[in-house]
Structure 1
Amino acid sequence: MTFRSTLMATTAAVFTVLGGAAFADAHATHPVTGEILAADQTFTYRTLDESPSIDPGVVEDSDGGDIVRDLFEGLMNQDADGNIVPGVAESYEVSDDLLTYTFTLRDAKWSNGDPVLASDFVYAWRRAASPELASPYSWFLELMAVENVSEVIAGDMPTDALGISAPDDHTVVVKITQPLPYFPQMLTHYTTFPVPEKVVEELGAEWTKPGNMVSNGAYVLTEHVPQEKLVRERNPMYWDNENTIIEKVTSLVINDEDTALTRYLAGELDRTDIPAGQFPALQAEYPEDVMSVPNACSYYYTINLTDTTNPALLDVNVREALSLAVDRDIIVHNVLAGGQKPAYTFTHWATAGFETPETPMVSMTQAERNEKAVELMEAAGYGSDNPLSLELIYNSSSAHESIAVAVSQMWKQTLGVETTLGNEEWQVFLETRGNQDYQIARGAWCADYNEASTFLDLMQSESGYNDAKYVNAEYDALMAEAKTSDNPQVQYTAAEQLIAQDVPIIPIYHYAADKMLRHNVKGWPYNNFQQNWYARDLYIVAD
């Protein structure tokens, strides 16, 4: 398969003539739409937490991914509709057996002027898989079925055994062990992005600091104040720099949604999250600024199934009772009210090619669910004369707190469960949850690509983000079969039914991207289900 750039030659010529400087002129117009551009092309947005890392081989959260997509570019990108388009790779070919991908690279440069070479991808992938880096996302390369990846991650093979090579400076060859129809989609994920070997090896962990970082994306890192802000500005060395309009992107860490909204309304932010429950009022007052579109994320509570948990949670009757007693309609319509949908499966309802299976809970009324929940708790030995006490933790956010309070009240009213709530700063929370130092914890998973396996692979025994430590050989077998199935929906349905049966997690709702987005910010990828956005595709029109 060979790609052709989606940018028409005539449009590219106009962009080239105008050049980047022209976009800062208040009289400049967008070369395609004809809209008058604002003089200040700065995009400022709010993030909830400081991301643990902006190293492509280490980053593990969605906000960090947004930053890395600006700073770095992989083999493939996504367009506004979520389709795969060329990135550093101008084209690629696939072998007849669908097991070898050969990518041809364009003439791209690092921000220091060095050429981006095929060996930079080889180094990055080997580094991400190496036991020395211990990347929290190394398992993603296993999902990609890269040749010898499991053995490399385990330290049983050297990193140069990984199925990626560079026959020459402009050719990357990747070998996988089984055909994956969604493999090209996976190449838009930051774990597969290149990193500059000379810089990383010379500076170590300090390479991601402003002034040190060398990147190949549309922007470069110019300022980073931890827990406060991160700034990136246009990279003049980027191969498509002349087509970029936004000059500067600033992400501000604001832990409180209401504070962020106040700053948005004061004109300090161009995008922020809508506080829980405020969507209807804001939509009525600011209809041009409010957005709500399906977003490829699922919100759930994960249950610790190891010996460090509350012993009661090892009883499936207790876990099922807790799930049944959560009134998801109240959560999405009363607490959130931003276009979210109740979740009775892990996989988001809008995932491409996925048919949401019926689970027993779906056909029941909430009254029937509550009645069964009481029966299950009594069967487990808990009730008014022997109430159960639990601990529920979440990362600091007023929205997460609102949901936790609502759920704890539901558990109390229906089951008599006493729940102690605790909140933690994001990085601490990730460690607590990853070390199974919790009983029940808030979780959310955003798709790495638009296919159901990106959700369901998470619950495999060896998954790096299976924080419940759920182990079910039948489930693992189903997900392995799905990789080669002509109709993987059969396995996906069975896998979802096992999750509903074993309850290692409690799905609560499927996300919608409900945001305040300044009406004069254009180019937002509303139709991209993953809501993967690139600042280089945005522009601000004169207001």
Structure 2
Amino acid sequence: MAREVLMGREVVLMTAGLAGLAVGLTGCGGGADPAGAAGPPRDGGTLRVVGSSDVEHLDTASAVGVGSYGLTRVFARTLFGTKASNDFNETVPVQADVAAEIPTRENGGISKDGKTYTVRLRQGVRWDTSPPRPVTAHDFVRGIERLCNPAAPYSGKGYYTSTIKGMDAYCDGFRDVDAKDAAAIAAYQNRHDVKGLEAKDDRTLVFRLTRPASDFLNLLSLQATAAAPKEYERHVPDGREFRQHTISDGPYRIAEYRPGVSYLLERNPVWRADTDPLRERHVEKIRITFGQDSPETVQQQIEQGGADLAWDQPVPTSAIPRLRGDDRFAIRETPSNSPYLVFNTRGPGNGGALRKREVRQALQYAIDRSALVKLVGGPSVAQPLHTVIPPGNSGYAPTNRYPTAGEGSDPGKCRRLLAKAGHPKLKLRFPYRTNSVHKLIAQSIKDNLAGCGVEAELRADTGGDFYARTISSPEQAKEGKWDIAAPGWTPDWYGNNGRSIIQPLFDGRTYGPGSTNYGGYDNFLVNGLIDAALTAPDPSRAAGYWQQADQRIMEDAAIVPLLDRAHTIFRSGRVAGARFLPTAAGYDYTRLWLTR
């Protein structure tokens, strides 16, 4: 693989834009910036958030998805994090959260060889237990160890098993523990240690890495590494009982949870603003209500004053033209691959046709991206995407291996290639998310495939089930319960973020329950490029490897990239101080306030 390495000016040009990730959709926000609301913040009131589906994971150990990130952030704190802002570039830098400061070589927090990190915790952060007690380094060790529990493991655990010394062996042993036995899970954690993870004392954490990792602080900003109190050992991770007994060290706590129906969050009485540099606390309560799949109905509720924010619904496409210029409306940057079409390469359907690269390559020509752009709001909201890595992310390079005229479909070429591959007729099971515009996107793709002689059988799948129980289940894939699906992927962080796209989606070694490598793609060359990127001496070299992995994945046609899509968002007239979190695709609930 060494002869394929991109060197010199080509890599420099590719990565030079990473310092300023604002890409083609910059400046699309409508009207005045809501953060500029006149007067000081006003405390009190109930923020009303309305949407479609509950989160697939409430436990931080397995939290994935923009909804989970936005919700868990208000009650579960990490060592590091990012700050919400309506300037995209201000949301990129890693900042201290429970950590007292950012570790550097200069302050002794990072060793000379870059393989040991020492993190000191700030004082005054407490759990809302009875009585309240300090959050300690031991709680962070427990939190990180929990992310590879057998009941609800974190789909991105490969980030850590490939980075923290001994984490791989620890997680391997955890797989043999009974996933339904909370006591057995707790016993394994308490009797086994991760070699590279140590609570030196209550306020000092030491991490030892297998190799230097320039993005290690980004990994420690993800919700999966949040501190976990010892009380969590009483429950199966992310189980029914756990979800009724969350404990908070953030500004809010869950006061009431009705699964699939609603959350009510109230103020955490032991949280102190002077211990939290990333969050604030203004509203008295936050109520999140589910069950509304129609973005038009959600939009109507917000405009008529019955709700304040949408939970998992962007602004409906039909409303965008009339909202331009309204300072309650904005188009916020979220450089992403959203949605993309993924193939189940492990299923038996059609005689295993989707396991053949030639079949997947043929289907690349089926999709009319220009129609999808219109469905989500036009070119100010989305651009056609032809690479795994979207613009504004490490390793991106514009290329199009399967071009079509005007970004439309080429059914003739699709048919010819399918016939050549020996599969002129296919019947594909196609589950789709029921919220937002996903049904319309699925119908458009279905119509495109029909032009190729492919019958797509649509099946409605709620947001909570779509990821957690359908496409991330190897059993469902192996049994052929689905053939194609259209998930989305927003990177877990921005900046030096090459591994936040390629590794979780395409590392074949991580395939298993809860994996985000939904189609079970596995190519030893791509796995090798991932390893090369992770061991690269600097971000620019790593970006070259990520780009090569992208090219190889597209040669294999593992997915059909569809759109690089921004997020359209609307707030009620009483919401002020709204600041955006790109990784949560929403406003930070802790920093806004209500004017009445």
TM-score range, shorter chain: 0.7 to 0.9
- Alignment gaps of 5+ in structure 2: 1-33, 104-108, 175-187
Change (3 A) 1:362 1:60: same
Match of 1:42 in 2: 46
Whole-Å Cα distance in 1 between the matches of residues 343 and 160 of structure 2?
25
SS at match of 2:60: coil
Is the contact made by 2:507 and 2:522 (CA closer than 8 Å) also made in structure 1? yes
Counterpart for residue 339 of structure 1: 381
Residue 355 of structure 1 corresponds to which residue in structure 2? 396
CA shift for structure 1 position 525: 3.3
Q: What CA distance in whole angstroms lies between the structure 1 residues aligned with 2:375 and 2:470?
A: 30
Matched-pair contact (CA < 8 Å) for 1:294–1:529: no
Greater displacement, 429-438 / 494-503: 429-438
Counterpart for residue 445 of structure 1: 489
**Distance in 1 (alpha carbons) for counterparts of 2:95 and 2:484:** 40
- Mapping for residues 329-478 of structure 1, pairs under 5 Å: 329-337=370-378, 339-351=381-393, 353-362=394-403, 365-366=406-407, 369-383=410-424, 387-413=425-451, 415-430=452-467, 431-435=469-473, 436=477, 437-450=481-494, 451-457=497-503, 458-463=505-510, 464-478=515-529
Task: Report the residue type matching 1:294 in the other structure.
Answer: E
Q: Aligned runs of 1:143-222 on 2, under 5 Å? A: 145-155=163-173, 159-197=192-230, 199-203=231-235, 205=239, 208-210=242-244, 212-222=245-255
- Distance apart, 1:440 and its partner CA: 0.6
Structure 2 vs 1, CA of residues 94 and 47 (structure 1 numbering), >3 Å: closer, same or farther? farther
Q: Is the 8 A contact 1:118 1:170 kept in 2?
A: yes
Q: Which residue of 2 aligns with 1:501?
A: 555
If asked which structure has higher relative contact order (CA below 8 Å, sep 6+), I would say 2
Choose from 116, 126, 130 the match for 1:109. 126
Alignment of 1:296-335 (within 5 A): 296-298=335-337, 299-310=339-350, 311-335=352-376
Compute the displacement of 1:511 (Å).
2.3
| Alpha-carbon separation, structure 2, partners of 1:363 and 1:425 | 33
Whether the 8 Å contact between 2:368 and 2:408 is mirrored in structure 1 is no
Alpha-carbon separation, structure 2, partners of 1:259 and 1:168: 52
CA shift, 1:296, in A, is 3.8
Distance 1:137 1:500 in 2: 22
Q: CA deviation at 1:172?
A: 1.0
Tell me whether 1:139 sits opposite 2:157 in the alignment.
Answer: yes
CA 1:362–1:529 in structure 2 vs 1: closer, same or farther (change >3 Å)?
A: farther
Q: What residue in structure 1 maps to residue 328 of structure 2?
A: 289
Tell me the percent identity.
21
The answer to whether the 8 A contact 2:389-2:396 is kept is: no
Look up the SS of the partner of 1:405 in the other structure.
Answer: helix
The correspondence for 1:74, drawn from 71, 78, 86, is 78
1-structure distance, mates of 2:68, 2:584: 15
Instruction: Say which structure is richer in strand.
Output: 1
Separation (CA, whole Å) in 2 of partners of 1:48 and 1:169: 41
TM-score, normalization by structure 2: 0.78
What is the identity, as a one-letter code, of the residue corresponding to 1:539?
W
Match of 1:26 in 2: none
Q: Deviations over 1:303-354 (max 9, x none)?
A: 1111433322223222122222211121012454360221111222122x44
Match of 1:12 in 2: none
Residue in 2 that maps onto 1:246: 283
Unaligned runs of 5+ in 1: 1-29
State how far apart, in whole Å, the 1-side matches of 2:418 and 2:35 are: 64
Please report how far the alpha carbon of residue 73 of structure 1 lies from its aligned counterpart in structure 2 after TM superposition: 0.5
Shift of residue 55, structure 1, vs aligned partner = 1.3
Distance 1:171 1:39 in 2: 35
Give the RMSD, CA atoms, in angstroms.
Answer: 2.7
Q: 2-side partners of 1:499 and 1:309: how far apart? A: 22
Q: What SS does the corresponding residue of 2:439 show, helix, strand or coil?
A: helix
SS at match of 1:318: helix
Identify if the C-alpha distance between structure 1 residues 259 and 420 changes in structure 2 by more than 3 Å, giving closer, same or farther.
same
